[in-house]
Amino acid sequence: MTSIQRIMLFLFVMSCAVFAQQTRPEKTKYEETSRYQDVMDFIGALKMDGKTMKLSWLGYSSQGKHLPMIVYGNVADTRPETIRKSGKLVVYIQGNIHAGEVEGKEAMLELLRELSNGKHQEWRQNLVLLIAPILNADGNDMISLYNRPWQNGPVAGMGQRANAQGYDLNRDHMKLESPEILSFVAMLNEYDPHITMDLHTTNGSFHGYHITYSFALNPVMDPGLDEFTRNVFFPKVEQKLTAQQWRIHRYGDFLEKTPAGKPGFYFWATEPRFNSNYVGLRNRLGILSEAYSYISFRQRIAATKALVIGILDVANGNSAAVKNIIAKADESARNLTAFDSLGVHAEVIESDSAQEILLAAVSEQRNPYTNEIMYLMNEDSLKKIRTSEFYGTRATKKVMVPARYIIPDSLVEVIALLRQHGIILRKTDGQKTMQIQRFVIKENKLAEREYQKHKMRTLEGTFETVTQTFPAGTFVVDMNQPLSRIALYLLEPESEDGAVEWDFFDKYFGDGKYYPIFKVIN
């Protein structure tokens, strides 16, 4: 082989290596998104040294696809106990919970490439990252050019919102019916990440930002954690991204008439069925990222990656403060009975002060392959308005917080659900007679329409105090545990997002007079 041939061969090999380290959007000029096999091939081509980057697994999809999770940081192995004992701040990041919202998946592949090439090494000082780029792997590969047609690309199509079972995974965090979210919650129980990021793309809202975010919104969550997230952590993140010329704000939509009857920038989700709210009720920082649908596909990927990097930079520089506020939130949860009452129904309310909000018009483009209308933000139309912002929360129905819940051992599905969430149960070691509160059912309503394959059930009634004897082996949920907030939302009969609403009690109502779980008020 001549010297010229050797040079040509070397260049060919190098070009193949570079091509292998490109994402599918990069290879197709951002017309296509990565399929599951593309993700696995990309991860396989990364330079994983087995020291700072290691391949692990989150779980499986409903069609049996193995869900990758890459561990990055100075830890000896990928075992949960190793990572928990490392003393590092653990951050979990997932993309593609909605498989038509593909930007988080692509952004995390790009970030993994940067990590494998030696960038961001400063994070290793204080952080361990768990990165799961493709949670909804089945929905991801159900590509159609007609999924989310109004979104500005990828013009060759994207996956669907639901998983292969037809569930919206971002509504499954309380009922746990999908293997993907069961795997996610098992990861929370095993690895106990301090921060969780869930990466999305907006679905219908109009504003003037490249990237928006939210955090847990529910009045039951720890107030110290809420204050820290709102007023300490995210102002630093916003400052970083604004300095890089990204337009960033809290996630929402400008409505001429909000539920409060006035104009405002509004976000609506408070229930723990949503990922960030669920994580917040577990006393951890739950973060929602929402790239704007009406900027280009390439911009959305870049904006999502910029937000993740900004959050990780702030987390790395404030790791001690984050761990401290989380420790206090756990301690607060162990003393939840110090609260006379807490909400089991909530609503979003107006924040303390009006805010300047960026709005922009959109122009129409045509998808070159379907001729469907796509929208693109008109940068020349940006304008500021000052309006009310709805980012506070309040309880609309409160209940007394018990010292413990008493659960008959016949409620096997409910007991299994509590264990899957990581809630601690114990059994009575003998027959017990105690004064309890029993819920008397006055109304039992079933919704006419299905939601997530359920007809939602609601109960109304009152508690009465009685003395009752329970046999040995009765289950008890003591409320002096870190997951007491989740336990409260799951077990209260009138909860807006509990086991009653998701039909777990349908066969346990007996004569329909009493709710079959009891409360002990200390």
* DSSP sequence for 302-343: HHHHHHHHHHHHHHHHTHHHHHHHHHHHHHHHHTGGGSSEEE
- 5 pLDDT tier (thresholds 50, 70, 90): low
Clarify whether residues 279 and 408 are in a common domain. no
**DSSP annotation of 157:** -
Q: Which of 2-6, 33-37, 171-175, 345-349 has the lowest mean pLDDT?
A: 2-6
Clarify whether residues 295 and 203 are in a common domain. yes
Does residue 223 contact residue 338 with C-beta atoms inside 8 Å? no
Q: What is the mean pLDDT of the chain?
A: 94
Tell me what pLDDT residue 16 has. 46
User: pLDDT tens-digit profile of 277-286?
Assistant: 999 999 999 9
Clarify whether residues 13 and 113 are in a common domain. yes
Q: What is the mean pLDDT of residues 401-428?
A: 97
Q: Which of 18-32, 244-258, 364-378 has the lowest mean pLDDT?
A: 18-32
Clarify whether residues 224 and 308 are in a common domain. yes
Backbone phi, then psi, for 425, in 5-degree steps?
A: -120, 155
* Domain membership flag for residue 108: yes
User: pLDDT tens-digit profile of 35-65?
Assistant: 999 999 999 999 887 889 999 999 999 999 9
Clarify whether residues 406 and 334 are in a common domain. no
Tell me what pLDDT residue 353 has. 77
Q: Which of 107-121, 342-356, 378-392, 394-408 has the lowest mean pLDDT?
A: 342-356
258: left (phi over 0), alpha (psi -120 to 50) or beta: beta
Domain boundary among 349, 367, 388: 349
Domain boundary among 349, 366, 389: 349
* Domain membership flag for residue 98: yes
Does residue 93 contact residue 58 with C-beta atoms inside 8 Å? no
Nearest to 474 by CA among 507, 416, 426, 418: 426
Clarify whether residues 261 and 141 are in a common domain. yes
Predicted confidence (pLDDT) at residue 11 exceeds the cutoff of 60: no
* Domain membership flag for residue 442: yes
Clarify whether residues 325 and 437 are in a common domain. no
Count of CA atoms in the C-beta half-sphere (13 A) of 376: 15
Backbone phi, then psi, for 412, in 5-degree steps?
A: -65, -40
d(CA 70, CA 53): 7
* Domain membership flag for residue 160: yes
* Domain membership flag for residue 242: yes
For residue 287, the domain's CATH number is 3.40.630.10
Print the domain residue range for 514: 402-520
* Domain membership flag for residue 10: yes
d(CA 54, CA 61): 21
Backbone phi, then psi, for 465, in 5-degree steps?
A: -95, 125
Residue 146 class from Cβ within 10 Å (0-12 exposed, 13-18 middle, 19+ buried)? exposed
Domain boundary among 283, 314, 349: 349
What is the tally of structural domains in the chain? 2
